[in-house]
A and B are shown apart, each in its own frame.
Chain A
Amino acid sequence: MKTVGRGKLSDLLIRLAHTCRKLGLNVGTSEIVEAERILETYASLKGGKLRLAEMREVVKAVFAKRVHEERVFEEAWSRVTSSNEVFRELLDKVEEHLRTLRIGYGERIYSKRALVEGADKATRERRRRAYRELKKMGIIVRRGGREVVLPRRAAMRRIAEISRKAHSASEALNRHWLSSLEEGRTSIDPEMLRNAEIPDRTLNRLGTDRLAELGMKAWRVGNKKLAYRAAKRLASLVTSGTLPKDTETTIQLLQLTGTGNLEIYLKLAGADPAVVSRMAKTLGPEVLASHLSSLDRESIKRVLPKLARLLSPDETIRLVGSLPLDTLARLPRSALKDTGRANEAFITAARHVSEAQNLALRYLETMNEAYLNYALHEYSKAKEILDNLDPRRLAPPLRPLYSHVRSLAETLGRPTSSPRDLLLRLAPSISRMDLHQAFRLLSNLYTSPDPEVRREAYRLAQRIWHARATLLKSTILRKWRKTGIRGRVELRETVYRMVRMQQEPLVYRRRRRSPGIVLVVDRSGSMVPYATWAILTASAFSRNVRRLILFGEDVDVIEVSKGPRRLVDLLLSARFGGYTNISAAMLEATRDLPPATLVLISDLKQTVQAESPVRVAERLIRSRWRIVVVAPPSRDLIVEEALRERGVRVEVVRTPWETGKRLARYLW
């Protein structure tokens, strides 16, 4: 049991306060005095000396006042109280390893083989282990293409860094390894995984690819338990929409551990069609086909060509019946063979019609007559087929599609008087699209050379905006009731004024202050659907948005107060993509405003060299801002974790539509 004598108490508290200040927690002199007084009272109540752990709790109660400050305090406490035993122990270890390898500080390693060579097997094994440990600790590093041992001073610093916070050398080493694993600094050494205990915290901070790699390596060296845990975490990440780049390894791990399910496999296939045939082998192509329609359009388009080759004619027909029309263009011709003449002809016609529709839209965008001619050509081909087709000879799954294709063909086939007329006819298909796709299309049309088309595109954009905003509002408002405070008389103030014989003595109660949210929206390429919904929501509740920021590398401040309709202009004219500077955006957003709530819509991936968003958030929170992040599944996990620790609320949304709903909770 460690105890502290009275004489050392103030000394300890002062050192602790200094360390706290160094770490960003401002502890005042009055707090040092107060902590000492309370500690003394506490000790006299307990009658005697205090245990170190008890002391920590008491001092923490005085020094740390917020959740993230507790973490800073803990860090400062361990820095001040943990002795330098661990440091010595580690230093001894490093020097012993260096002796084993027969090299010194600052030396270059010309050949690894020569370094770990030895007369007998035991020596070789010992040297190999020493080399591995030194690399793991970062004492041997790669510089300029060659491996070198750090110079003595740098090595000391590195050891001090590792030994911080730890109670023993092995704990320090283990922690160092885990943190380098989290940050992706080291490649995963399978030998280390054999008996490794990796806490959930670390697993939660790994990205999908790293998890897959770790899981597979753990599986290979026989640490099945770790492999299962990695696979489970991986599965939950994929379910929430975070997709890996290395789909092969991911699927391999999920299949080995049996943690995957159909939904996960479909998502993975949607991301990387190269794995479709492999998956079809294990799951059966017909299973994949029957669930394909649950994916989004882009993924269907990617998977369809691969999958169609593996299906029998009957299955192909059933698949076609369940898919949206515009994805059919990706169906390979070879897959249509043997489906029966009528069916084959109809599917071809449907492809022509959908192609004609795409071309017609292209025409409106560019006003290039060639596209219109192509569209008419496609249409005439479709018409020829459809005219000679007897719908009764179609296979049952295709019959519902027939009338749809037929009516679409008729809409396109009527002679057009003007481009505007054509746009009007296509309007229903456009308003059925996803919000961001519709707006992307319309913003292209908005740059069309024909003023009539521009005007109509704008009108259509407003109509779509209005319909979606109304839908959103009605979904949100159903759950909320207004408080009818307005109109009630504030009695006390009124009487005061009456007593003082003031003019107009009646005082009404004020309405509850509106929240006045500052909304910061990321416009990087991957955020388009989410950003579109966020702006839509902001426009629906524009009265409560104090400031709207749209940022990429540069930061635009948008006046919302001039009316929600202006946001439609914004949606039509905003260019998405480019670099992202979250920190600058947050600083710009909060400039000259009193603390309130800041809602950030972003995937937290900062792609420019600037101050880390975590530090900016920390500062803002200290100056009493409340920060909420609404992030898509593909967010940066490490930044997310760091933000959460500092008291930021992070909400992960699965679909763009959900962004609107979540945001409305803060705006309304």
Chain B
Amino acid sequence: MEEQKRLAEELVEAKQRTVSRSEAKVKAETILEKVKSIYGELLEPREPVRNPEEMVRRLRQDYRLLVDRELVYLVVAAFLNGRPVLFEGPPGTGKTEVGEAILSLWSGKNAFVLPCSENYDEYRVIGDFHPLMAMKYGFNEESFIPRPLLAAVLLDAGVLVDEIRRSSEEFQNMLLDIVDKRRIIVPELRRVFRAKGLGFQVIFTSNPEDIAQNELSDAFLRRVVRVKFTYPSPEREAEIVRMRLSSTPRLPDHLLSTMIECVNELRSTATHKPGPADTVLWAQLAAKMAELRGSSTVSLDDVVSAARVVLFKRDEDADTVEEVVEKFFGK
């Protein structure tokens, strides 16, 4: 008799368990569907590239980015070991662009980019509740709005966290927990979302020289693999500019090398240091001006007037820039 009673109880319990499990399955699908309907369009899925050699080639060919082979190898090795990567270096050295491209190649889907600011928190990156819906239905799947980080975990895509130093320490710790364990907990939904494949990877970028921002904690730094970005050598910078520039109108070699010398000088003197991105923009602008003039070669005047637009960033640098431009171009 006793035995029967116990068995019956167990049966009821087991039934309840299966019911709740299947309910959970239904719920998981609804969230996944939500994510797909919101972010699916952005992903443009394609074949993932996980061979470093192939990656370097594709970066050059599809993204027009010159990236060191060693860097790509290191990033891939870190990914394979489940470690997030931190790109650190001065502004304009291509941290964000390279990071986004590598992530996109790696997971075969366009990467999510989270540009950080001080008041970023889990509600902005994981998910939020629609206030009115929450008042009406309570905190459940119905009122839940998934945000990029959760979407990336569910869709197996990469995430680029831009300018991590601008975010608060709390936020950094939360991110680390997620990246380390490859899962997101949403306590309001009583749910855990796990990453399914290797596609979900994180790259952080930061610029330690920028003022008015937070330091990164030891705990954070210990968990990431840090890759340092520096200004490229003059030859490499010339190569980068050439790659980014269309062939007409033609930019003469001597002008380009003087431009790079000029930019290098500014990097040592001005407070706002122009990166290779600025050099590229400068060259592009000069070329555009030549094109508008209807000329097939970029002239000295084009370069100088483009310099006036591109290189002046801060009031206090105005004199320095003027001096340097005059020194190199005589105007």
Chain A contacts to B: CB under 8 angstroms: 28, 30-31, 34, 37-39, 41-42, 45-46, 54, 57-58, 61-62, 64-67, 70, 479, 491-492, 495, 498-499, 512, 595, 622, 624, 626, 647, 649
- Taking CB atoms, residues of chain A closer than 8 Å to B118 are 512
User: Does B78 count as interface, using CB distance less than 8 angstroms?
Assistant: yes
Q: Judge whether B131 and A41 touch: CB under 8 Å.
A: no
In the complex the two chains form, is A34's CB within 8 Å of B83's CB? Answer: yes
Contacts of B123 in A (CB 8 A): 492
Residues of A within 8 A of B83 (CB): 34, 38
Residues of chain B lying within 8 A (CB to CB) of residue A38: 74, 77-78, 81, 83, 225
Report the minimal beta-carbon distance from A453 to chain B, rounded to whole angstroms.
43
Residue-by-residue, is B210-240 near A (CB-CB < 8 Å gives 1, otherwise 0)?
0100011110011011111000000000000
Task: Using A41-B80, A57-B74, A62-B225 as known contacts, say yes or no to A624 and B215 having CB atoms under 8 A apart.
Answer: yes
> Does B135 lie within 8 Å of A45, measured CB to CB?
no
Given contacts A64-B226, A67-B208, A492-B128, contact A57 B70 (CB under 8 A): yes
C-alpha spacing A647/B225, complex, angstroms: 20
Is the Cβ of A624 less than 8 Å from the Cβ of B74? no
Quick one: given A66-B221, A498-B135, A499-B135, are A42 and B73 in contact (CB under 8 Å)? yes
The answer to whether A37 and B81 touch across the interface, beta carbons within 8 angstroms, is: yes
Enumerate chain B residues within 8 angstroms of A57, measured Cβ to Cβ.
70, 74
Once A45-B52, A492-B131 are accepted as A-B contacts, the answer to whether A58 and B77 lie under 8 Å apart by CB is: yes
Do A28 and B70 touch (CB < 8 A)? no
Residue pair A34, B81 in contact (C-beta under 8 Å): yes
* B125 located at the interface, meaning its Cβ lies under 8 Å from any Cβ of chain A in the complex: no
CB pair A495 B217 closer than 8 Å: no
Please report the C-alpha to C-alpha distance between residue A34 and residue B180 in the assembled complex, in whole angstroms: 13
Contact B77 A28 (CB under 8 A): no
Which chain B residues in 36-75 approach chain A with CB under 8 Å? 52, 70, 73-74
The proximity string for B residues 174-204 relative to A, scoring 1 for CB distances below 8 Å and 0 otherwise, is 0000000000000000000000000000000
| Known interface pairs A492-B128, A495-B131; A61-B222 also in contact (CB < 8 Å) | no
Q: Do B217 and A58 touch across chains, with their CB atoms under 8 A apart? A: no
Task: Give min CB distance, B68 to chain A, whole Å.
Answer: 9
| A45 and B76 contacting across the interface, CB-CB below 8 Å | yes
In the A-B complex, the 7 residue pairs with the closest CB atoms: A65-B221, A495-B131, A41-B77, A42-B77, A624-B215, A38-B77, A61-B225
Indicate which residue in B76, B134, B211, B222 contacts A65 across the interface (CB closer than 8 Å). B222
Known: A65-B226, A67-B208, A499-B134. A54 touches B215 (CB 8 A): no
Given A41-B80, A45-B76; 6 other pairs, CB 8 A cutoff = A38-B81, A46-B73, A61-B74, A62-B226, A70-B228, A624-B217
Cross-chain contact B81 with A495 (CB below 8 angstroms): no
Closest B-chain residue to A491, C-beta based? Answer: B131
Question: B319 to nearest A CB, angstroms?
Answer: 14
Complex: chain A residue closest to B227, CB-CB = A61
Give CA–CA (A220, B106) in the complex, Å. 63
Partner of B70, one of A54, A70, A495: A54
B222 close to A28 (CB less than 8 A): yes
Chain B interface residue count, Cβ-Cβ cutoff 8 angstroms: 32
Which of chain A's residues have a CB closer than 8 A to the CB of B74?
A: 38, 42, 57-58, 61
Name which of B77, B135, B208, B222 has the most chain A CB atoms within 10 A of its CB. Answer: B77
Task: A622 to B134: give the CA distance in the assembly, Å.
Answer: 44
A130–B98 alpha-carbon span in the complex (Å): 56
Which residues of the other chain, B, contact A626 by a CB distance below 8 angstroms? 215
A-B contact pairs, 6 of them (CB 8 A): A38-B225, A41-B77, A58-B77, A66-B221, A492-B123, A624-B215
Q: Give chain B residues whose Cβ lies under 8 Å from the Cβ of A61.
A: 74, 78, 225-228
Partner of B222, one of A30, A622, A649: A30
Contacts A42-B74, A65-B226, A66-B221 known; A595 to B208 CB distance under 8 Å?
no
Distance between B88 CB and nearest chain A CB, rounded to angstroms: 8
Report B-chain residues with C-beta under 8 Å of the C-beta of A66.
208, 221
A142 to B228, CA, bound (A): 46
A301 shortest CB reach to chain B, Å: 31
- Report the bound CA distance from A595 to B83 in whole Å: 28
Residues of A within 8 A of B86 (CB): 65
Q: Output the least CB separation between A618 and chain B (Å).
A: 14
Nearest Cβ distance between residue A593 and chain B, in whole angstroms? 14
Residues of chain A within 8 A (CB-CB) of B70 are 54, 57
- Residue from A67, A495, A647 in contact with B134 in the complex, judged by beta carbons closer than 8 Å: A495
Residue from the set A37, A39, A70, A512 with the largest chain B CB neighbour count within 10 Å? A37
Residues of A within 8 A of B135 (CB): 495, 498-499
**Chain B residue nearest in CB terms to A53:** B70
Name the distance in Å between A104's Cβ and chain B's nearest Cβ.
Answer: 49
CA separation between A384 and B24, bound complex, in Å? 107
Task: Determine the chain A residues whose CB is within 8 A of the CB of B315 once the complex forms.
Answer: 479
Contact indicator A45/B77 (Cβ below 8 Å): yes
* Closest beta carbon of chain A to B174's beta carbon, Å: 17
**Roughly how many angstroms separate A319 CA and B274 CA in the complex, as a whole number?**
46
Given A65-B221, A624-B217, A41-B81 contact (CB < 8 Å): yes
Q: What residue of chain A has the Cβ atom nearest to residue B121's Cβ? A: A492
Q: For A498, what are the chain B residues with a Cβ–Cβ distance below 8 Å? A: 135
Instruction: State how many angstroms separate the Cβ of B122 from the closest Cβ of chain A.
Output: 11
Q: Establish whether residues A595 and B76, one from each chain, have CB atoms under 8 Å apart when the complex forms.
A: no
Identity of the chain B residue whose Cβ is nearest the Cβ of A54 in the assembled complex: B70
Which B110-146 residues sit within 8 Å CB-CB of chain A? 118, 123, 128-129, 131, 134-135
- Interchain CA distance A512-B212 in the complex, whole Å: 12
A595 and B215 contacting across the interface, CB-CB below 8 Å: yes
Compute how far the CA of A46 lies from the CA of B215 in the bound complex, rounded to whole angstroms.
35
A46→B76 CA distance, assembly (Å)? 11
Give the distance to chain B from A566, nearest Cβ to Cβ, in Å: 28
Residues of B within 8 A of A65 (CB): 86, 216, 218, 221-222, 224, 226
| B78 proximity list for chain A (CB < 8 A) | 38, 61
CB distance from B316 to the nearest CB of A (A): 10
Residues in B neighbouring A41, C-beta threshold 8 A = 76-77, 80-81
Chain B residues with CB below 8 A from A31, complex form: 222
A62 to B223, CA, bound (A): 9
Report the separation of the CA atoms of residues A37 and B81 in the bound assembly, to the nearest whole angstrom: 7
Task: Digitize B134-170: 1 where CB-to-A-CB distance is under 8 Å, 0 elsewhere.
Answer: 1100000000000000000000000000000000000
Contact A45 B73 (CB under 8 A): yes
Tell me, rounded to whole Å, the shortest Cβ–Cβ distance linking B227 to chain A. 6
How close is B135's CB to chain A, nearest CB, in angstroms? 6
Complex: A498 Cα to B226 Cα, angstroms: 44
Which residue of the partner chain A has the closest CB to B51? A45
CB distance from A635 to the nearest CB of B (A): 19
Shortest beta-carbon distance from B198 to chain A in Å: 13
Residues of the A chain whose Cβ atoms lie less than 8 Å from the Cβ of B208: 66-67, 647
Min Cβ gap A667→B in Å is 12
Nearest chain A CB to B330 CB, angstrom units:
21
Complex Cα spacing A70 to B80, Å: 24
Which residue on chain A has the smallest CB distance to residue B128?
Answer: A492
> What is the distance, in angstroms, from B177's C-beta to the closest C-beta of chain A?
16
Q: Across the interface, which residues of A come within 8 angstroms of B224, CB to CB?
A: 65
Which chain B residues (239-271) contact chain A, with CB distance < 8 Å? none
Q: Which residue of B lies closest to A70 (CB)?
A: B228
- Nearest opposing residue in chain B for A64, CB measure: B226
Residues from chain B with a CB closer than 8 A to the CB of A64 are: 226
> Considering residues A28, A65, A67, A622, which has the most beta carbons from chain B within 10 angstroms of its beta carbon?
A65
A37, closest chain B residue (CB): B81
Residue of B nearest to A485 (CB): B119
| CB neighbours of A492 from chain B (8 A) | 123, 128-129, 131
B225 surroundings in chain A (CB, below 8 A): 38, 61-62
- What's the least CB distance linking A371 to chain B, in Å? 47
Q: Which residues of A contact B131 (CB under 8 A)?
A: 491-492, 495
Q: With the chains together, A67 CA to B74 CA distance in Å?
A: 19
Bound CA span A54–B71, Å: 10
- B71-97: which have CB < 8 Å to A? 73-74, 76-78, 80-81, 83, 86
